């Protein structure tokens, strides 16, 4: 019996056999999407999201409204999320080696965090620096890490996190409020070059209070089956065009 060693078997897309990379990546991404869909849904509004400009989007997120079919998390997006966690672990390791006493877990192994409003608002922090070298920050300090593409990273370096990444800035303020910390060390890593940028962010009570009040309003609206006003008057507004609830918001909820 002859065996055809020149024949390549496998997945067929559109009548042709795609390159090996496409086939392997399709398997990986399919597994990642399945794992993500199997994760329990959040039963709370995350503190990292409250700085989002559109309150209606936050209601959709809190009520687990499905993403538009063409805007669900892809395997590639999930790989980006996973890589971000690995970059965070590297930065933590480097900071500890440099003499920063950075705590990332409680004694029971759980994450540091907070919850309020009967558990309907929660946040989990990257860590707390309890002591370290003299760099002009009074310890303890909140530690928050982000991994960014080169262009986005350069904008943070140029303008600061408050102007460049207002959602991150809001996250820092809210976390400092509930963790009772007066300052944060915001660290962001350039994913293309592994350059690190570190920024001191002081706690601003009135900003944190405004964010906390906003979170309560989101919860109340969601539980009353109410939708806050849209952020724009046209679906072509740039924030709306990239929203995962674009169709739901503008066509199904006129």
Q: Report if residue 16 sits inside a domain.
A: no
Structure tokens at 30: 């399919």
Q: Is residue 22 part of a domain?
A: no
Q: Report the CATH number that the domain containing residue 230 is assigned in CATH.
A: 3.90.320.10
Tell me what the mean pLDDT of segment 108-119 comes to. 87
In this prediction, residues 113-137 reach a mean pLDDT of 94
pLDDT at position 253 over 70: no
pLDDT score recorded for residue 1 = 52
Residues 64-101: tens digit of each pLDDT: 999 998 888 888 888 998 998 999 999 999 999 999 99
Question: Which region among 83-92, 109-118, 134-143, 171-180 has the lowest average model confidence (pLDDT)?
Answer: 109-118
Residue 32 falls within a domain, yes or no?
A: no
Residue 36 lies in a domain: no
Q: What is the pLDDT of residues 205-249, one digit of tens each?
A: 999 999 999 999 999 999 999 999 999 989 999 999 989 999 999
With helix as H, strand as E and coil as C, how does 97-145 read? HCCCEEECCCCCCCCCEEEECCCCEEEECCEEEEECCCCCCCCCEEEEE
In-domain check, residue 203:
yes
Residue 222 structural domain: 45-252
127, part of any domain: yes
What DSSP designation does 234 have? S
Chain mean position to CA 221: 23
Summarised one tens digit per residue, pLDDT across range 164-202 is 999 999 999 999 999 999 999 999 999 999 999 999 999
- Answer yes or no: is 167 within a domain: yes
Give the pLDDT band (50/70/90) at residue 4.
low
pTM: 0.86
Q: Report pLDDT for 14.
A: 52
Domain count, the chain: 1
Looking up tokens 């350039």 gives 190
Q: In the prediction, which pLDDT does 251 show?
A: 84
pLDDT over 90 at 8, yes or no: no
> What's the average model confidence in pLDDT over 108-137?
92
Average pLDDT, the chain: 90
How many other CB atoms are found less than 10 A from the CB of residue 39?
7
Q: Is 7 exposed, middle or buried (0-12, 13-18, 19+ CB in 10 A)?
A: exposed
Answer yes or no: is 223 within a domain. yes
């Amino acid at each position: 019996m002859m065996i055809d060693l020149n024949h390549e078997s496998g997945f067929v897309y559109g009548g042709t056999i795609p390159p090996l990379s496409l086939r392997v990546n399709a398997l990986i991404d399919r597994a990642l999407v399945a794992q993500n869909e199997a994760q329990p849904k959040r039963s709370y509004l995350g503190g990292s999201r409250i700085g989002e400009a559109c309150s209606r989007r936050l209601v959709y997120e809190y009520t687990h409204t499905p993403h538009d079919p063409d805007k669900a998390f892809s395997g590639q997006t999930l790989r980006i999320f996973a890589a971000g966690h690995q970059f965070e672990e590297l930065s933590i390791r480097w900071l500890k080696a440099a003499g920063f006493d950075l705590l990332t877990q409680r004694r029971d192994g759980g994450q540091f965090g907070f919850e309020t409003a009967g558990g309907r608002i929660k946040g989990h922090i990257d860590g707390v620096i309890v002591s370290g070298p003299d760099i002009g920050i009074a310890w303890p300090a909140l530690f928050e890490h982000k991994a960014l593409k080169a262009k986005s990273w350069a904008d943070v370096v140029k303008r600061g996190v408050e102007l460049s990444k207002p959602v991150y800035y809001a996250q820092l303020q809210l976390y400092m409020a509930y963790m009772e910390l007066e300052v944060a060390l915001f660290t962001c890593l350039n994913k293309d070059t592994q350059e690190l940028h570190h920024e001191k962010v002081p706690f601003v009570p009135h900003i944190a209070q405004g964010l906390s009040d906003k979170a309560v309003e989101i919860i109340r609206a969601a539980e009353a089956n109410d939708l806050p006003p849209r952020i724009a008057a046209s679906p072509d507004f740039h924030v709306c065009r990239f929203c995962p609830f674009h169709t739901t918001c503008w066509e199904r909820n006129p």
